[in-house]
Amino acid sequence: MVLASLVLTLGAIPLVVACVLLLPWRLARLKAAQVFSHCVAPPMLWLLGITYPKEAREEVRRRAPAIFVINHSSTLDTFLSMTMWPPRGCSVGKREVLAIPVFGLCYVAVGMLLIDRKNSASAVAALQALSVEVKEAGLSIWIAPEGTRSRDGELSTFKRGFVHMAIATGLPVVPVVLHGAFERLPVDTWRLSGGNVDIEFLESFDPAEWTSDGVADHAVAVEDAFRAALSAAGAPALKTEESGGGRPPRSP
């Protein structure tokens, strides 16, 4: 884990320099982040002894542009997300990310969005402002709606920001379920256990009929889809709509 962190730190230096030069052009910085992620994350996971379905990157590309939502229970989630990073992908993270050495600087430099999760009104306003750029530039959003990593591996209640963004942009919501990341590397520990992390893509939620009055219900519907997927036994490494692995969206 220490070696992987060193690789990330050294690799981030040229990324930050490039993003400073590209400061006026957010799309160019997001592209730089995608190239960096695809180049750096796979060897990092290899060093950590973590395997994952390589087809996941192509599945993300096929579904984009979209709002990709993931469950968050391990530091490995970040590296796994980087391997799949979508074209013109923009992440939405908590402001506390700034306290993470190097990573926080990179996060801001490449043009990702930070929100204050303690101020709901401010967070919603920031997401709605980003929605305008999402529609104009064809961005994809990557977000962990639990807001923070699960301390026990269990799914936490979803925050509703992604629903507001889906309604504002009309983008489909794609649940990306990470199976086994917590078992490989629990939160607040260096006890890494090499092995496989499965990735399951559920059927997209179409926000066309979602309304602002039903935001809470829509968030629960997506959360319930995650809970069903996580509790199901014997899930294959990669389920897609085409392979019949997706689940139909639930009525709000």
Cα angle 113, 61, 31 (rounded to 5 degrees) comes to: 45
Domain assignment of residue 167, given as a range = 2-239
Question: Residue 111 domain-assigned?
Answer: yes
- The whole model's pTM is what? 0.86
- Using the predicted structure, report yes or no on whether residue 20 has a pLDDT greater than 90: no
Within a domain: residue 244? no
Q: Tokens representing 49?
A: 């002894």
Cα–Cα distance for residue pair 152/205, rounded to 1 Å: 27
The more confident residue out of 13 and 215 is: 215
Confidence of residue 235 (pLDDT cuts 50, 70, 90): very low
Q: Is residue 127 situated within a structural domain?
A: yes
Number of domains in the chain: 1
Q: Which residues of 40-72 are buried (b: 16+ CB within 10 A; e: fewer)?
A: bbbebbeebebebbeebbebbeebbbbbbbbbb
49-53, 78-82, 217-221, 236-240, range with the lowest pLDDT: 236-240
The verdict on residue 245 lying in a domain is: no
> Is residue 25 situated within a structural domain?
yes
Give residue 43's identity as a one-letter amino acid code: P
Is 19 part of any domain?
yes
Other residues' Cβ atoms within 10 Å of the Cβ of residue 20: 10
Residue 248 covered by a domain: no
| Residue 38, domain CATH | 3.40.1130
> 76-121, pLDDT tens digit by residue?
999 999 999 999 999 988 778 777 777 788 888 898 888 777 777 7
Domain for residue 247, yes or no? no
- Per-residue model confidence as pLDDT tens digits over 44-59: 999 899 999 999 999 9
Taking a C-beta distance cutoff of 8 angstroms, is the pair 111, 93 a contact?
no
